[in-house]
Amino acid sequence: MPILGRRLAAITAALAMSVTTGALVSPASAHSGSSDETKKMPTATGYGGAVSTVDEDASAAAIEVLRKGGNAIDAAVAAAATLGVTEPYSAGIGGGGYFVYYDAKSKKVHTIDGRETAPAAMPTDAFIDPVTGKPYNFTPELVTSGVSVGVPGTPATWERALKRWGSMSLAETLEPAIDVAEDGFKVDATFKLQTDENKVRFEAFPSTSELYLPGGKAPEVGSVLKNRDLADTYRLLANKGTDAFYTGPLAEDIVEAVQNPPKSAKTELPVPAGSMTTKDLAKYRALEQKPTHVNYRGYDVYGMAPSSSGGTTVGEALNILETFDLPALKDDKAKVLHHYLEASALAFADRAKYLGDPAFVDVPVKELLDPVFGKERACEIDPLKAAVKPVPAGDVADYNGACDVEPAALSDEKDTENINTTNLTVSDKWGNVVEYTLTIEQTGGSGIVVPGRGFILNNELTDFSTVFSETDPNRIQPGKRPRSSMSPTIVLKDDEPFLALGSPGGSTIITTVLQTLVNRIDFDMSIEKALAAPRATQRNTANVTAEQAFIDSPYGQELGSRYGHTFAAAGAAGTSAAEIGAATAIEFLDDNKVRAVAEPVRRGGGSAMVVKPSH
Protein backbone atom coordinates (compact mmCIF):
# COMPACT_ATOMS: atom_id res chain seq x y z
CA MET A 1 0.00 0.00 0.00
CA PRO A 2 1.40 3.47 -0.83
CA ILE A 3 2.75 5.56 2.04
CA LEU A 4 0.20 8.33 2.27
CA GLY A 5 0.14 9.34 5.90
CA ARG A 6 -3.59 9.92 5.92
CA ARG A 7 -5.87 11.19 8.65
CA LEU A 8 -3.54 10.79 11.65
CA ALA A 9 -3.47 7.06 11.01
CA ALA A 10 -1.97 5.92 14.28
CA ILE A 11 -2.66 2.57 15.88
CA THR A 12 -5.56 4.05 17.85
CA ALA A 13 -7.27 4.99 14.59
CA ALA A 14 -6.64 1.50 13.30
CA LEU A 15 -8.59 0.11 16.21
CA ALA A 16 -11.57 2.41 15.64
CA MET A 17 -14.91 0.89 14.83
CA SER A 18 -15.71 0.66 11.12
CA VAL A 19 -19.04 2.43 10.71
CA THR A 20 -19.83 0.75 7.39
CA THR A 21 -19.34 -2.85 8.36
CA GLY A 22 -19.62 -2.90 12.13
CA ALA A 23 -16.25 -4.64 12.26
CA LEU A 24 -12.99 -3.50 13.80
CA VAL A 25 -10.49 -2.11 11.32
CA SER A 26 -7.25 -4.03 11.61
CA PRO A 27 -3.95 -2.16 12.02
CA ALA A 28 -2.81 -3.44 8.64
CA SER A 29 -5.67 -1.73 6.86
CA ALA A 30 -5.27 1.68 8.46
CA HIS A 31 -3.20 4.37 6.75
CA SER A 32 0.18 5.05 8.22
CA GLY A 33 3.08 7.24 7.24
CA SER A 34 5.74 9.60 8.40
CA SER A 35 5.01 11.86 11.32
CA ASP A 36 5.64 14.91 9.11
CA GLU A 37 2.73 13.92 6.89
CA THR A 38 0.25 12.67 9.47
CA LYS A 39 0.25 15.94 11.39
CA LYS A 40 -2.27 18.31 9.87
CA MET A 41 -0.52 21.62 9.32
CA PRO A 42 -2.00 24.77 7.72
CA THR A 43 1.35 26.08 6.42
CA ALA A 44 4.28 24.37 4.73
CA THR A 45 7.33 25.94 3.08
CA GLY A 46 9.82 24.19 0.84
CA TYR A 47 10.71 22.98 -2.63
CA GLY A 48 9.79 20.46 -5.30
CA GLY A 49 6.07 21.17 -5.45
CA ALA A 50 3.33 21.88 -2.93
CA VAL A 51 -0.34 21.37 -2.22
CA SER A 52 -3.02 22.96 -0.07
CA THR A 53 -6.44 21.41 0.51
CA VAL A 54 -8.95 21.17 3.35
CA ASP A 55 -7.97 17.57 4.01
CA GLU A 56 -4.73 15.78 4.81
CA ASP A 57 -5.65 12.64 2.84
CA ALA A 58 -6.12 14.73 -0.29
CA SER A 59 -2.93 16.68 0.29
CA ALA A 60 -0.98 13.49 0.92
CA ALA A 61 -2.36 11.98 -2.30
CA ALA A 62 -1.08 14.96 -4.29
CA ILE A 63 2.34 14.82 -2.62
CA GLU A 64 2.60 11.10 -3.39
CA VAL A 65 1.93 11.77 -7.07
CA LEU A 66 4.46 14.62 -7.15
CA ARG A 67 7.09 12.41 -5.53
CA LYS A 68 6.49 9.78 -8.18
CA GLY A 69 7.34 12.33 -10.85
CA GLY A 70 3.83 13.50 -11.67
CA ASN A 71 3.13 17.12 -12.47
CA ALA A 72 0.66 19.60 -10.97
CA ILE A 73 -2.17 18.38 -13.22
CA ASP A 74 -1.71 14.76 -12.12
CA ALA A 75 -1.49 15.77 -8.47
CA ALA A 76 -4.59 17.97 -8.68
CA VAL A 77 -6.68 15.11 -10.06
CA ALA A 78 -5.36 12.77 -7.36
CA ALA A 79 -6.25 15.29 -4.65
CA ALA A 80 -9.69 15.98 -6.14
CA ALA A 81 -10.51 12.27 -6.38
CA THR A 82 -9.49 11.80 -2.75
CA LEU A 83 -11.64 14.74 -1.68
CA GLY A 84 -14.53 12.85 -3.29
CA VAL A 85 -13.97 10.22 -0.60
CA THR A 86 -13.16 12.29 2.45
CA GLU A 87 -15.17 15.45 1.65
CA PRO A 88 -18.14 13.81 -0.11
CA TYR A 89 -20.61 16.51 0.97
CA SER A 90 -18.55 19.15 -0.86
CA ALA A 91 -17.21 17.47 -3.98
CA GLY A 92 -17.08 14.30 -6.02
CA ILE A 93 -17.70 12.81 -9.44
CA GLY A 94 -21.38 13.62 -9.09
CA GLY A 95 -20.62 17.35 -9.42
CA GLY A 96 -18.59 19.85 -11.41
CA GLY A 97 -16.12 22.68 -11.15
CA TYR A 98 -13.59 25.04 -12.71
CA PHE A 99 -9.93 24.28 -13.37
CA VAL A 100 -7.27 26.99 -13.87
CA TYR A 101 -3.77 26.00 -15.00
CA TYR A 102 -0.54 27.97 -15.40
CA ASP A 103 1.86 26.31 -17.84
CA ALA A 104 5.45 27.17 -16.87
CA LYS A 105 6.87 26.37 -20.29
CA SER A 106 4.59 28.69 -22.27
CA LYS A 107 3.93 31.09 -19.36
CA LYS A 108 0.24 30.97 -20.31
CA VAL A 109 -2.88 30.45 -18.19
CA HIS A 110 -5.54 27.99 -19.39
CA THR A 111 -8.94 27.09 -17.95
CA ILE A 112 -11.49 24.29 -18.15
CA ASP A 113 -15.20 24.87 -17.55
CA GLY A 114 -16.48 21.66 -16.00
CA ARG A 115 -19.78 23.15 -14.83
CA GLU A 116 -22.86 20.94 -14.78
CA THR A 117 -25.52 21.41 -17.47
CA ALA A 118 -29.30 21.34 -17.44
CA PRO A 119 -30.90 18.31 -19.12
CA ALA A 120 -32.27 18.81 -22.64
CA ALA A 121 -35.81 18.15 -21.44
CA MET A 122 -35.69 20.46 -18.41
CA PRO A 123 -38.74 22.76 -18.56
CA THR A 124 -38.41 26.46 -17.75
CA ASP A 125 -40.87 26.02 -14.89
CA ALA A 126 -39.02 23.06 -13.40
CA PHE A 127 -38.83 24.73 -9.98
CA ILE A 128 -42.56 25.43 -9.79
CA ASP A 129 -44.68 22.96 -7.84
CA PRO A 130 -47.29 21.67 -10.33
CA VAL A 131 -49.79 21.12 -7.50
CA THR A 132 -49.65 24.60 -5.94
CA GLY A 133 -48.41 26.58 -8.92
CA LYS A 134 -45.89 28.25 -6.60
CA PRO A 135 -42.10 27.81 -6.42
CA TYR A 136 -40.90 24.87 -4.38
CA ASN A 137 -39.43 25.85 -1.04
CA PHE A 138 -35.69 26.07 -1.58
CA THR A 139 -34.99 24.09 1.59
CA PRO A 140 -35.57 21.23 1.91
CA GLU A 141 -37.77 20.50 -1.13
CA LEU A 142 -35.79 21.88 -4.07
CA VAL A 143 -32.31 21.09 -2.79
CA THR A 144 -33.30 17.49 -2.07
CA SER A 145 -34.51 16.40 -5.46
CA GLY A 146 -33.80 14.89 -8.85
CA VAL A 147 -34.94 18.06 -10.59
CA SER A 148 -31.98 19.98 -9.15
CA VAL A 149 -29.36 17.52 -10.46
CA GLY A 150 -27.24 18.77 -13.35
CA VAL A 151 -25.23 16.60 -15.73
CA PRO A 152 -21.93 16.14 -13.84
CA GLY A 153 -18.75 17.65 -15.27
CA THR A 154 -16.03 16.52 -12.85
CA PRO A 155 -14.96 13.26 -14.57
CA ALA A 156 -14.81 15.03 -17.95
CA THR A 157 -12.71 17.81 -16.40
CA TRP A 158 -10.18 15.29 -15.07
CA GLU A 159 -9.97 13.54 -18.42
CA ARG A 160 -9.52 16.73 -20.40
CA ALA A 161 -6.89 18.14 -18.03
CA LEU A 162 -4.87 14.92 -18.01
CA LYS A 163 -4.98 14.53 -21.79
CA ARG A 164 -4.00 18.15 -22.41
CA TRP A 165 -1.33 18.71 -19.79
CA GLY A 166 -0.91 15.67 -17.53
CA SER A 167 1.90 13.13 -17.50
CA MET A 168 0.08 10.24 -15.82
CA SER A 169 -2.96 8.16 -16.72
CA LEU A 170 -6.31 8.54 -15.00
CA ALA A 171 -5.75 5.11 -13.46
CA GLU A 172 -2.48 6.23 -11.84
CA THR A 173 -3.99 9.40 -10.41
CA LEU A 174 -6.95 7.49 -8.95
CA GLU A 175 -4.79 5.02 -7.01
CA PRO A 176 -4.53 7.07 -3.79
CA ALA A 177 -8.28 7.77 -3.70
CA ILE A 178 -9.07 4.10 -4.23
CA ASP A 179 -6.85 3.24 -1.26
CA VAL A 180 -8.61 5.75 0.99
CA ALA A 181 -12.09 4.63 -0.11
CA GLU A 182 -11.17 0.98 0.43
CA ASP A 183 -9.36 1.31 3.74
CA GLY A 184 -11.40 4.14 5.21
CA PHE A 185 -10.72 7.58 6.62
CA LYS A 186 -11.00 8.97 10.09
CA VAL A 187 -14.18 10.97 10.75
CA ASP A 188 -13.53 14.45 12.13
CA ALA A 189 -15.79 16.94 13.89
CA THR A 190 -16.65 18.83 10.69
CA PHE A 191 -17.76 15.67 8.92
CA LYS A 192 -19.97 14.67 11.84
CA LEU A 193 -21.45 18.17 12.11
CA GLN A 194 -22.31 18.26 8.40
CA THR A 195 -23.84 14.79 8.61
CA ASP A 196 -26.01 15.81 11.54
CA GLU A 197 -27.12 18.96 9.71
CA ASN A 198 -28.27 16.81 6.77
CA LYS A 199 -29.76 13.93 8.75
CA VAL A 200 -33.37 14.47 7.60
CA ARG A 201 -32.32 14.75 3.97
CA PHE A 202 -30.03 11.71 4.11
CA GLU A 203 -32.74 9.63 5.82
CA ALA A 204 -34.89 10.16 2.71
CA PHE A 205 -32.66 7.79 0.72
CA PRO A 206 -31.65 4.28 1.90
CA SER A 207 -28.56 4.39 -0.35
CA THR A 208 -27.41 7.54 1.46
CA SER A 209 -28.38 6.61 5.01
CA GLU A 210 -26.73 3.19 4.76
CA LEU A 211 -23.44 4.87 3.91
CA TYR A 212 -23.51 8.05 6.01
CA LEU A 213 -26.00 7.25 8.81
CA PRO A 214 -24.92 3.78 9.94
CA GLY A 215 -27.20 2.59 12.68
CA GLY A 216 -29.42 5.60 12.05
CA LYS A 217 -27.00 8.27 13.22
CA ALA A 218 -23.96 10.21 12.10
CA PRO A 219 -20.65 8.39 12.50
CA GLU A 220 -18.74 9.32 15.63
CA VAL A 221 -15.64 11.47 15.58
CA GLY A 222 -12.62 9.19 15.40
CA SER A 223 -14.46 6.29 13.75
CA VAL A 224 -13.30 5.00 10.36
CA LEU A 225 -15.62 5.35 7.40
CA LYS A 226 -15.17 3.15 4.34
CA ASN A 227 -16.75 3.57 0.92
CA ARG A 228 -16.05 0.41 -1.05
CA ASP A 229 -18.76 1.20 -3.60
CA LEU A 230 -16.87 4.36 -4.53
CA ALA A 231 -13.61 2.41 -4.65
CA ASP A 232 -15.24 0.11 -7.19
CA THR A 233 -16.56 3.08 -9.18
CA TYR A 234 -13.09 4.61 -9.29
CA ARG A 235 -11.68 1.26 -10.43
CA LEU A 236 -14.24 1.23 -13.24
CA LEU A 237 -13.08 4.67 -14.39
CA ALA A 238 -9.43 3.63 -14.01
CA ASN A 239 -9.96 0.60 -16.23
CA LYS A 240 -12.34 2.00 -18.83
CA GLY A 241 -11.94 5.76 -18.67
CA THR A 242 -14.60 8.36 -18.19
CA ASP A 243 -16.67 6.92 -21.04
CA ALA A 244 -17.75 4.40 -18.39
CA PHE A 245 -19.27 7.30 -16.46
CA TYR A 246 -21.05 9.04 -19.31
CA THR A 247 -22.29 5.88 -21.06
CA GLY A 248 -23.19 2.32 -20.12
CA PRO A 249 -24.55 0.85 -16.88
CA LEU A 250 -23.21 3.62 -14.60
CA ALA A 251 -24.85 6.30 -16.72
CA GLU A 252 -28.09 4.32 -16.57
CA ASP A 253 -27.84 4.15 -12.78
CA ILE A 254 -27.34 7.91 -12.56
CA VAL A 255 -30.36 8.59 -14.76
CA GLU A 256 -32.50 6.16 -12.78
CA ALA A 257 -31.58 7.95 -9.53
CA VAL A 258 -32.51 11.31 -11.06
CA GLN A 259 -35.75 10.31 -12.75
CA ASN A 260 -36.88 7.97 -9.97
CA PRO A 261 -35.14 9.16 -6.80
CA PRO A 262 -34.50 6.12 -4.56
CA LYS A 263 -36.39 7.57 -1.60
CA SER A 264 -37.56 5.86 1.52
CA ALA A 265 -41.26 5.11 1.99
CA LYS A 266 -41.00 6.87 5.36
CA THR A 267 -39.74 10.25 4.17
CA GLU A 268 -42.09 13.21 4.10
CA LEU A 269 -39.92 15.11 1.64
CA PRO A 270 -41.52 15.38 -1.83
CA VAL A 271 -38.22 14.80 -3.72
CA PRO A 272 -39.31 16.08 -7.17
CA ALA A 273 -37.99 13.94 -10.03
CA GLY A 274 -35.63 15.23 -12.71
CA SER A 275 -35.52 14.80 -16.47
CA MET A 276 -31.90 13.81 -17.14
CA THR A 277 -31.37 11.10 -19.76
CA THR A 278 -28.45 8.93 -20.84
CA LYS A 279 -28.24 11.10 -23.96
CA ASP A 280 -27.62 14.15 -21.75
CA LEU A 281 -24.71 12.34 -20.11
CA ALA A 282 -23.26 11.12 -23.41
CA LYS A 283 -23.34 14.65 -24.87
CA TYR A 284 -21.58 16.36 -21.95
CA ARG A 285 -18.29 18.12 -22.71
CA ALA A 286 -15.87 20.02 -20.47
CA LEU A 287 -14.88 23.25 -22.23
CA GLU A 288 -11.49 24.89 -22.58
CA GLN A 289 -11.71 28.67 -22.67
CA LYS A 290 -9.67 31.81 -22.20
CA PRO A 291 -9.24 33.06 -18.64
CA THR A 292 -10.34 36.47 -17.46
CA HIS A 293 -7.52 38.93 -16.89
CA VAL A 294 -7.01 42.26 -15.15
CA ASN A 295 -3.90 44.07 -13.98
CA TYR A 296 -3.98 45.13 -10.33
CA ARG A 297 -1.15 47.27 -8.99
CA GLY A 298 1.33 45.57 -11.34
CA TYR A 299 0.04 42.04 -10.80
CA ASP A 300 -1.71 40.06 -13.55
CA VAL A 301 -4.80 38.42 -12.07
CA TYR A 302 -6.27 35.51 -14.03
CA GLY A 303 -9.61 33.88 -13.24
CA MET A 304 -12.52 31.91 -14.58
CA ALA A 305 -14.69 33.33 -17.35
CA PRO A 306 -18.45 32.67 -17.65
CA SER A 307 -20.29 30.39 -17.01
CA SER A 308 -18.59 31.30 -13.75
CA SER A 309 -19.11 34.85 -12.56
CA GLY A 310 -16.00 34.60 -10.40
CA GLY A 311 -13.37 35.97 -12.76
CA THR A 312 -15.46 38.88 -14.00
CA THR A 313 -16.75 39.92 -10.58
CA VAL A 314 -13.37 39.68 -8.82
CA GLY A 315 -11.75 41.41 -11.80
CA GLU A 316 -14.28 44.25 -11.95
CA ALA A 317 -14.00 44.85 -8.20
CA LEU A 318 -10.20 45.01 -8.52
CA ASN A 319 -10.53 47.53 -11.36
CA ILE A 320 -12.75 49.65 -9.13
CA LEU A 321 -10.28 49.44 -6.24
CA GLU A 322 -7.35 50.20 -8.54
CA THR A 323 -8.72 53.74 -8.73
CA PHE A 324 -7.89 54.30 -5.05
CA ASP A 325 -4.41 54.28 -3.51
CA LEU A 326 -5.31 51.73 -0.86
CA PRO A 327 -1.72 50.76 0.04
CA ALA A 328 -1.17 54.35 1.17
CA LEU A 329 -4.22 53.97 3.45
CA LYS A 330 -3.33 50.58 4.92
CA ASP A 331 -2.87 52.02 8.42
CA ASP A 332 -6.53 53.06 8.29
CA LYS A 333 -7.94 49.55 8.05
CA ALA A 334 -11.60 50.54 8.25
CA LYS A 335 -11.23 52.94 5.32
CA VAL A 336 -9.64 50.30 3.09
CA LEU A 337 -12.28 47.73 4.04
CA HIS A 338 -15.03 50.29 3.40
CA HIS A 339 -13.79 50.59 -0.18
CA TYR A 340 -13.53 46.79 -0.47
CA LEU A 341 -17.15 46.34 0.64
CA GLU A 342 -18.49 49.08 -1.63
CA ALA A 343 -16.54 47.85 -4.67
CA SER A 344 -17.86 44.34 -4.08
CA ALA A 345 -21.47 45.57 -3.97
CA LEU A 346 -21.03 47.41 -7.26
CA ALA A 347 -19.50 44.38 -8.96
CA PHE A 348 -22.29 42.15 -7.64
CA ALA A 349 -24.90 44.52 -9.04
CA ASP A 350 -23.34 44.07 -12.47
CA ARG A 351 -23.02 40.33 -11.94
CA ALA A 352 -26.76 40.03 -11.35
CA LYS A 353 -27.63 42.03 -14.46
CA TYR A 354 -25.19 40.63 -16.99
CA LEU A 355 -23.78 37.22 -16.03
CA GLY A 356 -24.96 33.88 -17.40
CA ASP A 357 -23.85 31.02 -19.62
CA PRO A 358 -22.23 32.66 -22.68
CA ALA A 359 -23.63 29.91 -24.90
CA PHE A 360 -27.09 31.32 -24.16
CA VAL A 361 -26.48 34.92 -23.05
CA ASP A 362 -24.42 37.71 -24.57
CA VAL A 363 -22.16 38.39 -21.59
CA PRO A 364 -20.21 41.68 -21.91
CA VAL A 365 -16.98 40.29 -20.44
CA LYS A 366 -14.75 42.80 -22.24
CA GLU A 367 -16.77 45.75 -20.96
CA LEU A 368 -17.09 44.46 -17.41
CA LEU A 369 -13.31 44.05 -17.22
CA ASP A 370 -12.48 47.32 -18.94
CA PRO A 371 -10.47 49.52 -16.52
CA VAL A 372 -12.40 52.52 -17.85
CA PHE A 373 -15.68 50.90 -16.82
CA GLY A 374 -14.18 50.13 -13.41
CA LYS A 375 -13.06 53.72 -13.02
CA GLU A 376 -16.56 54.94 -13.79
CA ARG A 377 -18.10 52.48 -11.32
CA ALA A 378 -15.65 53.73 -8.69
CA CYS A 379 -17.35 57.12 -8.97
CA GLU A 380 -20.31 55.58 -7.12
CA ILE A 381 -18.27 55.02 -3.95
CA ASP A 382 -18.70 57.65 -1.28
CA PRO A 383 -15.41 57.64 0.66
CA LEU A 384 -17.23 58.74 3.82
CA LYS A 385 -20.28 56.50 4.05
CA ALA A 386 -21.84 53.25 2.86
CA ALA A 387 -24.36 53.46 0.03
CA VAL A 388 -27.90 52.25 0.54
CA LYS A 389 -28.12 48.73 -0.89
CA PRO A 390 -28.93 47.39 -3.36
CA VAL A 391 -26.88 49.72 -5.53
CA PRO A 392 -27.65 50.13 -9.25
CA ALA A 393 -25.96 48.13 -11.96
CA GLY A 394 -23.71 50.00 -14.37
CA ASP A 395 -24.41 50.57 -18.06
CA VAL A 396 -21.88 48.65 -20.15
CA ALA A 397 -23.24 50.23 -23.32
CA ASP A 398 -22.43 53.79 -22.28
CA TYR A 399 -19.40 54.64 -20.16
CA ASN A 400 -16.33 56.85 -20.45
CA GLY A 401 -14.68 56.69 -17.04
CA ALA A 402 -16.04 60.04 -15.96
CA CYS A 403 -17.96 60.63 -12.76
CA ASP A 404 -21.01 62.26 -14.27
CA VAL A 405 -23.02 59.31 -15.56
CA GLU A 406 -26.47 58.27 -14.44
CA PRO A 407 -26.60 54.68 -13.19
CA ALA A 408 -28.84 52.06 -14.72
CA ALA A 409 -31.89 50.57 -13.02
CA LEU A 410 -31.61 48.78 -9.69
CA SER A 411 -30.58 45.14 -9.81
CA ASP A 412 -30.92 43.29 -6.54
CA GLU A 413 -28.77 40.19 -6.11
CA LYS A 414 -30.80 37.26 -4.81
CA ASP A 415 -28.22 34.50 -4.77
CA THR A 416 -29.07 31.01 -3.59
CA GLU A 417 -25.73 29.38 -4.33
CA ASN A 418 -24.82 27.33 -1.31
CA ILE A 419 -21.81 27.61 0.93
CA ASN A 420 -20.32 24.17 0.45
CA THR A 421 -17.68 23.53 -2.18
CA THR A 422 -14.01 22.66 -1.93
CA ASN A 423 -10.83 24.08 -3.37
CA LEU A 424 -7.29 22.88 -3.92
CA THR A 425 -4.04 24.49 -4.98
CA VAL A 426 -1.09 22.53 -6.41
CA SER A 427 2.33 23.35 -7.85
CA ASP A 428 5.16 21.16 -9.11
CA LYS A 429 8.95 21.33 -9.38
CA TRP A 430 8.73 22.62 -12.96
CA GLY A 431 6.71 25.67 -11.91
CA ASN A 432 3.32 24.55 -13.20
CA VAL A 433 0.36 25.60 -11.06
CA VAL A 434 -3.24 24.38 -10.73
CA GLU A 435 -6.08 26.17 -8.94
CA TYR A 436 -9.19 23.99 -8.90
CA THR A 437 -12.59 24.62 -7.33
CA LEU A 438 -15.09 21.78 -7.43
CA THR A 439 -18.45 21.18 -5.85
CA ILE A 440 -21.74 19.32 -5.59
CA GLU A 441 -23.42 22.57 -4.44
CA GLN A 442 -25.44 22.13 -1.22
CA THR A 443 -23.67 20.61 1.75
CA GLY A 444 -24.49 17.03 0.85
CA GLY A 445 -25.59 17.93 -2.69
CA SER A 446 -29.00 16.56 -3.61
CA GLY A 447 -28.68 14.05 -0.79
CA ILE A 448 -28.95 11.20 -3.31
CA VAL A 449 -26.21 8.57 -3.32
CA VAL A 450 -26.44 6.62 -6.57
CA PRO A 451 -27.28 3.12 -5.30
CA GLY A 452 -24.29 0.81 -5.42
CA ARG A 453 -21.98 3.51 -6.76
CA GLY A 454 -20.92 5.37 -3.60
CA PHE A 455 -21.17 9.03 -4.68
CA ILE A 456 -23.66 11.84 -4.12
CA LEU A 457 -25.32 13.64 -7.01
CA ASN A 458 -25.13 17.41 -7.15
CA ASN A 459 -27.99 19.89 -6.86
CA GLU A 460 -26.25 22.57 -8.93
CA LEU A 461 -29.32 23.49 -10.96
CA THR A 462 -30.62 25.38 -7.92
CA ASP A 463 -28.14 28.05 -9.02
CA PHE A 464 -30.58 28.95 -11.78
CA SER A 465 -33.16 31.61 -10.94
CA THR A 466 -36.27 29.96 -9.55
CA VAL A 467 -38.79 31.95 -11.59
CA PHE A 468 -38.25 32.19 -15.34
CA SER A 469 -37.85 35.62 -16.92
CA GLU A 470 -36.79 36.36 -20.49
CA THR A 471 -34.60 39.22 -19.26
CA ASP A 472 -32.81 37.19 -16.59
CA PRO A 473 -29.36 36.04 -17.81
CA ASN A 474 -29.53 33.15 -15.32
CA ARG A 475 -32.96 31.84 -16.33
CA ILE A 476 -33.49 28.09 -16.81
CA GLN A 477 -32.78 26.86 -20.33
CA PRO A 478 -32.19 23.27 -21.52
CA GLY A 479 -28.51 22.44 -21.90
CA LYS A 480 -27.44 25.61 -20.08
CA ARG A 481 -24.82 25.93 -17.34
CA PRO A 482 -26.13 27.79 -14.28
CA ARG A 483 -24.22 30.84 -13.14
CA SER A 484 -21.52 30.04 -10.63
CA SER A 485 -19.40 32.06 -8.21
CA MET A 486 -16.39 29.74 -8.17
CA SER A 487 -13.27 31.86 -8.47
CA PRO A 488 -10.06 29.86 -8.85
CA THR A 489 -7.42 32.55 -9.32
CA ILE A 490 -3.77 32.64 -10.37
CA VAL A 491 -1.75 35.84 -9.96
CA LEU A 492 1.41 36.45 -11.97
CA LYS A 493 4.19 39.01 -11.57
CA ASP A 494 6.33 39.51 -14.69
CA ASP A 495 4.81 36.34 -16.22
CA GLU A 496 5.90 34.24 -13.23
CA PRO A 497 3.56 32.84 -10.54
CA PHE A 498 3.17 35.05 -7.50
CA LEU A 499 0.07 33.61 -5.83
CA ALA A 500 -2.62 31.02 -6.51
CA LEU A 501 -5.76 30.89 -4.40
CA GLY A 502 -9.40 29.89 -4.25
CA SER A 503 -12.15 29.00 -1.82
CA PRO A 504 -15.51 27.33 -1.35
CA GLY A 505 -18.48 29.31 -0.09
CA GLY A 506 -21.13 29.85 -2.78
CA SER A 507 -21.38 33.51 -3.72
CA THR A 508 -19.03 34.37 -0.83
CA ILE A 509 -16.24 32.70 -2.83
CA ILE A 510 -15.92 35.91 -4.82
CA THR A 511 -15.53 38.10 -1.77
CA THR A 512 -13.23 35.62 -0.02
CA VAL A 513 -10.83 35.68 -2.96
CA LEU A 514 -11.18 39.46 -3.31
CA GLN A 515 -10.63 40.16 0.39
CA THR A 516 -7.60 37.85 0.49
CA LEU A 517 -6.07 39.72 -2.46
CA VAL A 518 -6.71 43.05 -0.74
CA ASN A 519 -5.17 41.68 2.45
CA ARG A 520 -2.09 40.38 0.66
CA ILE A 521 -1.46 43.19 -1.84
CA ASP A 522 -2.94 46.33 -0.28
CA PHE A 523 -2.40 45.59 3.40
CA ASP A 524 0.86 43.76 2.64
CA MET A 525 -0.06 40.94 5.03
CA SER A 526 1.78 37.64 4.85
CA ILE A 527 -0.25 35.09 2.91
CA GLU A 528 -0.89 33.17 6.14
CA LYS A 529 -2.41 36.22 7.82
CA ALA A 530 -4.22 37.32 4.66
CA LEU A 531 -5.99 33.99 4.44
CA ALA A 532 -6.71 33.60 8.16
CA ALA A 533 -8.07 37.14 8.74
CA PRO A 534 -11.77 37.51 9.70
CA ARG A 535 -14.03 37.86 6.66
CA ALA A 536 -16.94 39.99 5.59
CA THR A 537 -18.95 39.76 2.38
CA GLN A 538 -21.02 42.47 0.70
CA ARG A 539 -23.05 41.08 -2.23
CA ASN A 540 -25.26 44.10 -2.85
CA THR A 541 -27.51 43.37 0.09
CA ALA A 542 -28.85 45.58 2.88
CA ASN A 543 -26.50 44.08 5.46
CA VAL A 544 -22.89 42.99 5.28
CA THR A 545 -22.64 39.32 6.22
CA ALA A 546 -19.56 38.81 8.38
CA GLU A 547 -17.87 36.40 10.70
CA GLN A 548 -18.36 37.34 14.32
CA ALA A 549 -14.65 38.05 14.74
CA PHE A 550 -14.88 40.66 11.98
CA ILE A 551 -17.95 42.31 13.54
CA ASP A 552 -16.33 42.43 16.97
CA SER A 553 -12.99 43.79 15.75
CA PRO A 554 -12.09 47.49 16.14
CA TYR A 555 -12.29 47.99 12.38
CA GLY A 556 -15.64 46.19 12.26
CA GLN A 557 -17.00 48.50 14.93
CA GLU A 558 -15.60 51.51 13.07
CA LEU A 559 -17.16 50.40 9.77
CA GLY A 560 -20.49 50.63 11.54
CA SER A 561 -20.04 53.84 13.53
CA ARG A 562 -17.98 55.78 11.02
CA TYR A 563 -19.27 54.59 7.64
CA GLY A 564 -22.77 53.28 8.43
CA HIS A 565 -22.33 49.65 7.42
CA THR A 566 -24.75 47.26 9.13
CA PHE A 567 -23.80 43.68 9.83
CA ALA A 568 -25.44 40.28 10.04
CA ALA A 569 -23.46 37.41 11.53
CA ALA A 570 -22.69 34.55 9.17
CA GLY A 571 -24.75 31.47 9.95
CA ALA A 572 -25.29 30.42 13.53
CA ALA A 573 -22.78 29.51 16.18
CA GLY A 574 -22.01 25.81 16.18
CA THR A 575 -22.99 25.29 12.54
CA SER A 576 -20.86 24.96 9.42
CA ALA A 577 -22.47 28.16 8.09
CA ALA A 578 -20.91 30.36 10.78
CA GLU A 579 -17.70 30.64 8.77
CA ILE A 580 -17.11 32.30 5.40
CA GLY A 581 -15.04 30.24 2.99
CA ALA A 582 -12.24 27.74 3.52
CA ALA A 583 -9.48 28.99 1.27
CA THR A 584 -6.27 27.39 0.03
CA ALA A 585 -3.27 29.17 -1.46
CA ILE A 586 0.32 28.82 -2.58
CA GLU A 587 2.68 31.78 -2.70
CA PHE A 588 5.81 31.58 -4.83
CA LEU A 589 8.95 32.89 -3.15
CA ASP A 590 12.51 33.49 -4.29
CA ASP A 591 14.91 30.67 -5.30
CA ASN A 592 12.07 28.29 -6.30
CA LYS A 593 10.77 28.13 -2.74
CA VAL A 594 7.01 27.93 -2.22
CA ARG A 595 4.71 28.45 0.74
CA ALA A 596 1.49 26.44 0.81
CA VAL A 597 -1.21 27.78 3.13
CA ALA A 598 -4.56 26.39 4.24
CA GLU A 599 -7.09 27.51 6.82
CA PRO A 600 -5.75 27.31 10.38
CA VAL A 601 -9.24 27.06 11.92
CA ARG A 602 -12.16 27.17 9.45
CA ARG A 603 -13.70 23.74 8.77
CA GLY A 604 -11.37 22.27 11.33
CA GLY A 605 -8.26 23.58 9.59
CA GLY A 606 -6.74 22.62 6.26
CA SER A 607 -3.67 20.71 5.19
CA ALA A 608 -0.63 22.22 3.47
CA MET A 609 2.29 20.06 2.34
CA VAL A 610 5.46 20.38 0.27
CA VAL A 611 7.58 17.71 -1.38
CA LYS A 612 10.78 18.87 0.30
CA PRO A 613 10.15 20.82 3.52
CA SER A 614 12.34 23.75 4.43
CA HIS A 615 12.34 24.36 8.17
Active site residues: 421
Burial of 312 from C-beta contacts in 10 A (0-12 / 13-18 / 19+) = buried
Q: How far apart are CA 344 and CA 381, in angstroms?
A: 11
DSSP character string of 461-491: GGGS-SS--TT-TT---TTPPPPB----EEE
- Judged by DSSP in three states, 72 sits in helix
Compute the C-alpha angle 405/408/412, nearest 5°. 135
Distances (CA, A) of 476 to 462, 524, 568: 10, 42, 31
Q: Checking phi first, is residue 290 left (phi over 0); if not, alpha (psi -120 to 50) or beta?
A: beta
Q: List phi, psi (to 5°) of 187.
A: -70, 130
Yes or no: say if 365 and 544 are a contact pair by the CB < 8 Å rule.
no
For 96-245, list the strands marked E by DSSP. Answer: 96-103, 108-114, 185-186, 224-225
Q: How far apart are CA 16 and CA 32, in angstroms?
A: 14
Can you list the pairs that 321-325 forms with residues at least 24 positions away whose Cβ atoms lie under 8 Å?
321/296, 321/378, 321/518, 321/522, 322/296, 322/297, 322/371, 322/374, 323/374, 323/375, 323/378, 324/378
Compute the residue count for the chain. 615
Per DSSP, what are the bridge partners of residue 65? Answer: none
Yes or no: say if 274 and 259 are a contact pair by the CB < 8 Å rule.
yes
Helix (H) or strand (E) holding 537: strand 536-537
3-state helix, strand, coil split of the chain in percent (to 5) is 35, 15, 45
